[in-house]
Structure 1
Amino acid sequence: MMWGVRQRCTALITAARTRLGPGPKPGPKPGPRPTGNRVTGYIAIGAVGTLIGTSLAVGAGESGTRPRLADVGAWLAGSEKGEVAHAHGLTGDVDGKVVLPAGMAGHPVSVAQDGDTTLVLDERTGEVVRIDASQLSAAQSADYGAAGLQLVSGGAYAYVVDPHKGTVQRIDPAMTTPESPPVDVGGKPGAAVVDAEGTLWVPLPDSGTVVPFTKGLKGTAVKVAEAGHDLALTLADGHPVVTDGTAGVMRVLTATGVQGSFDLGDAVTGTDPDDVLVPAGTDGSAVPVLAAGTGDLVVVDVRSRHTTRAHVQTEGHELGAPHLLGKRVYIPDESTGRLLVYDTALSTPAPPVPVTEGAGELELFVRDGLLWVNDPDGSAAAVIDADGEVRHIGKYRTEVPSAREPGDEPIEDSIPTGVPGGPVPPPPGAPNATAPVTDPPSGNPSGDPSGQPPGPGPGGPTQPEPEPGAPGAPQAESRSGAIRITFAKALGATPQRYVLKGATPDQTVTPDGVGPDGPYTFEVRGGSCDEQYSFTVVAEYGGGKPDKESAPSALARPCIAPGAPRGLTFTPAERGHGGTLTWDAPQDAEGTVTYTVNGPGGSVQITERSHRFEKLRNSTKHWVAVMARNAAGSGTATDGWMDLTPPSQQMTIVNNTANDVPVGIRSLPTTVGSGRPGEIPGNKDGEVTQVTTVHCNVRGQENSYGDETTDVWAYHTFHSPVTNKDIIGYTSDLYVNSRSNPKVWDCE
Structure 2
Amino acid sequence: MGAEMPGEQGTPSPRPRGAALVTAAWARLRPTGNRVTGYLAVGAVGALIGTSLAVGAGASGTRPRLADVAAWLASSEKGEVAHANGLTGDVDGKAVLPAGMAGHPVSVAQDGRTTLVLDEQTGQVVRIDASQLTAEQSADYGAAGLQLLSGGAYAYVLDPAKGTVQRIDPAMTTAESPPVQLGGKPGAAVVDGDGTLWVPLPDQGTVVPFVKGLKSTAVKVAEAGHDLALTLAGGRPVVTDRTAAEMKVLTVTGTQGTFALDGATAGSAPAGLLVPASTDGSVVPVLATGSGELMMTDVRSRHTLRARVPAEGHDLGAPQLLGKRVYIPDESTGRLLVYDTSLSALAEPVRITDGAGELELFVRDGLLWVNDQDGATAAVIDADGEVRRIGKYETDVPSARKPGDRPVEDSVPTGGAAAQVPPPATVPSATVPAPSAPSGQTPEPTQTEPSPAPTQDCELHWETGCAEPGAPGAPQVESRSGAIRITFAPVAGATPQRYVLKGSAPDQTVTPEEIGPDGPFTFEVRGGSCEEQYGFTVVAEYAGDKPSKESAPSALARPCVAPGAPRELTFTPAQGGHGGTVTWLPPQGADGSVTYTLNGPGGTAETTEPSHTYSGLRNGIVRGVAVMASNAAGSGAAASGWIDLSLPAQKMNIVHNKPDGRDLGIRNMPHSTEGGRAGGIPPGENPEVTVHCNTKGQVITINSKTTDVWARLTYYDPTLDKNITGYVTDHYVESRSNPDVWACE
Same topology, TM > 0.5: yes
Q: Does the 8 Å contact 1:660/1:681 carry over to 2?
A: no
Corresponding residue number in structure 2 for 1:581? 582
Partner of 1:182: 179
CA distance in 2, matches of 1:70, 1:741: 76
Superposed counterparts of 1:82-101, under 5 Å: 82-101=79-98
Letter in 1 for 2:503: G
Q: Does 1:430 align with 2:425?
A: yes
Give, in angstroms, the shift of residue 668 of structure 1: 4.5
1:667-706 equivalences under 5 Å are: 667-670=668-671, 674=675, 676-677=677-678, 679-684=679-684, 686=685, 689-706=686-703
Structure-2 residue corresponding to 1:138: 135
**How big is the shift at 1:726?**
2.5
Q: How much has 1:652 moved relative to structure 2?
A: 1.2
Whichever residue aligns with residue 247 of structure 1, its letter is A
Distance of aligned partners of 1:69 and 1:617 in 2 relative to their CA distance in 1, 3 Å threshold:
farther
Deviation readout 1:101-127 (Å, 9 max, x if unpaired): 111111111111223122111111111
Change (3 A) 1:740 1:537: same
Supply the distance in 2 between the matched residues of 1:233 and 1:502 (Cα, whole angstroms). 35
For the 8 Å contact 1:247–1:269, the answer to whether it is kept is no
8 A contact 1:92–1:382 mirrored in 2: yes
Equivalent residue for 2:323, pick from 323, 326, 351: 326
For residues 298-309 of structure 1, the aligned pairs below 5 Å read 298-309=295-306
Going from structure 1 to structure 2, the CA distance change for 1:659 and 1:74 (only over 3 Å counts) comes to farther
**What is the alpha-carbon distance in structure 2 between the residues aligned to residue 735 and residue 397 of structure 1?**
96
1:42 corresponds in structure 2 to none
Structure 2 distance, partners of 1:205, 1:318, is 25
- Whole-Å separation in 1 of the counterparts to 2:41 and 2:730: 70
CA drift at 1:564: 0.9
Letter in 2 for 1:382: A
Of structures 1 and 2, the one with the larger relative CO (CA 8 A, separation 6+) is 1
Offset, 1:266: 1.4
1:642-675 alpha-carbon deviations (Å, 9 max, x no partner): 2221111112123323334333334454566646
Instruction: Write the distance in 1 (CA, Å) between the matches of 2:673 and 2:334.
Output: 85
1:518 aligns with 2:519: yes
CA contact (8 A) 1:479 1:560 kept: yes
SS across alignment from 1:313: coil
Distance 2:727 2:93 in 1: 76
One-letter identity of the residue aligned with 2:579: G
Q: Is the 8 A contact 1:651 1:694 kept in 2?
A: yes
CA distance in 1, matches of 2:697, 2:416: 87
Aligned to 1:595: 596
For 1:681, give the aligned amino acid. Answer: I
2:3 is aligned to none
Partner of 2:640: 639
- Judge which range, 659-668 or 225-234, deviates more: 659-668
Deviation track 1:235-255 (CA, whole Å, cap 9, x = no partner) reads 112111111112211111222
Distance 2:552 2:291 in 1: 14
CA contact (8 A) 2:666 2:681 kept: no
Q: Residues 33-72 of structure 1: matches in 2 within 5 Å?
A: 65-72=62-69
Q: Are the aligned partners of 1:98 and 1:136 in contact in 2 as well (CA < 8 Å)? A: yes
Aligned 8 A contact 2:353 2:421 in 1: no
Matches within 5 A, 1:163-178: 163-178=160-175
Q: 1:283 pairs with 280, 283, 292, which one?
A: 280
Structure 1 residues 727 and 547, CA gap change in structure 2 (3 angstroms): same
Task: Find the aligned partners of 1:273 and 1:126 in 2 and give their Cα distance.
Answer: 29
Question: How many Å apart are 1:290 and its aligned residue?
Answer: 0.5
Residue identity in the other structure for 1:642: I
Read off the aligned partner of 1:559 and give its amino acid letter. Answer: C
Q: Aligned residue for 1:5?
A: none
Q: Secondary structure at the match of 1:267?
A: coil
Percent identity at matched positions? 70
- Relative distance call for 1:508 and 1:672 in structure 2 (3 A) is same
For residue 150 of structure 1, report the CA deviation from its aligned partner.
1.0
**Does structure 2 retain, via aligned residues, the 8 Å contact 1:120–1:128?**
yes
Q: Which residue of 1 aligns with 2:116?
A: 119
TM-score (structure 1 length as normaliser): 0.84
Q: C-alpha displacement at 1:216, in angstroms? A: 2.2
Matches of residues 199-598 of structure 1 in structure 2 within 5 Å?
Answer: 199-269=196-266, 271-412=268-409, 414-420=411-417, 423-427=419-423, 430=425, 464-598=465-599
Distance 2:501 2:650 in 1: 68
CA distance in 2 between counterparts of 1:354 and 1:492 reads: 27
Moved more, 665-674 or 736-745: 665-674
**Contact 1:131–1:137 (CA<8 Å) still a contact in 2?**
yes
Cα–Cα, structure 1 residues 739 and 179, in superposed 2: closer, same or farther, change >3 Å? farther
Q: Give the match's secondary structure for 2:263.
A: helix
- Quote the offset at 1:550 in angstroms: 0.7
Partner amino acid for 1:202?
V
Report the alpha carbon displacement of residue 589 of structure 1 after superposing the two structures with TM.
1.7
Distance of aligned partners of 1:643 and 1:139 in 2 relative to their CA distance in 1, 3 Å threshold: farther
Does the aligned pair in 1 maintain the 2:596–2:608 contact within 8 Å? yes
Distance 1:538 1:131, change over 3 A: same
1:350 Cα deviation after fit: 0.6
CA change 1:287–1:717 in 2 (3 A) is same
User: What is the CA distance between 1:736 and its match in structure 2?
Assistant: 2.7
Q: Deviations over 1:41-80 (max 9, x none)?
A: xxxxxxxxxx999989999999673221111111111111
Evaluate the alpha carbon distance shift between residue 649 and residue 79 of structure 1 in structure 2; reply closer, same or farther with a 3 A threshold.
same
Q: Say what the alpha-carbon RMSD is for the aligned residues.
A: 2.7
**Which residue identity is paired with 1:582?**
T
Q: Distance in 2 between matches of 1:536 and 1:664?
A: 86
- Rounded Cα–Cα distance in structure 1 between residues aligned with 2:702 and 2:483: 73
User: Please, which moves more after superposition, 232-241 or 128-137?
Assistant: 128-137
C-alpha offsets along residues 313-338 of structure 1, whole Å, 9 cap, x if unaligned?
A: 01111111001111111001111111
1:11 matched residue in structure 2:
none
Distance of 2:664 and 2:413 partners within structure 1: 98
CA pair 360-328 structure 1, distance change in 2 beyond 3 A? same
CA distance in structure 2 between the aligned counterparts of 1:425 and 1:117, rounded to whole angstroms: 31
Q: 2 CA distance for matches of 1:546 and 1:102?
A: 68
Q: Tell me the amino acid that sits aligned with residue 422 of structure 2.
A: P
- In structure 1, C-alpha distance between the alignment counterparts of 2:185 and 2:494, rounded to whole Å: 57
Q: CA deviation at 1:197?
A: 2.3
Cα pair distance change 1:322/1:720, threshold 3 Å: same
Deviation for aligned residue 1:708 = 4.3
Following superposition, the deviation at residue 379 of structure 1 comes to 1.7
Separation of aligned partners in 2, 1:141 and 1:255: 32
Say if 1:102 and 1:734 are closer, same or farther in 2 by CA, change over 3 A.
farther
SS of aligned partner of 1:339: strand
Cα distance in 2 for partners of 1:412, 1:670 equals: 92
- For 1:54 and 1:621, locate their aligned partners in 2 and report how far apart those are by CA, in whole Å: 55
Q: Distance in 2 between matches of 1:388 and 1:136?
A: 31
* Matches of 2:142 and 2:620, distance apart in 1: 53
Query: How far apart are residue 602 of structure 1 and its match?
Result: 1.2
How many angstroms apart in 1 are the aligned matches of 2:41 and 2:667? 66
Shift in CA distance, 595/424, structure 1 to aligned 2, threshold 3 Å: farther
Measure the CA separation in 2 of the matches of 1:732 and 1:269: 71
CA pair 173-702 structure 1, distance change in 2 beyond 3 A: farther
Matched residue count = 667
Structure 1, gaps ≥5 residues long: 1-50, 433-439, 441-459
Deviations 1:365-412 (A, max 9, x none): 112311111112222111111100111111122222222223211122
Does 659-668 or 476-485 show the bigger shift?
659-668
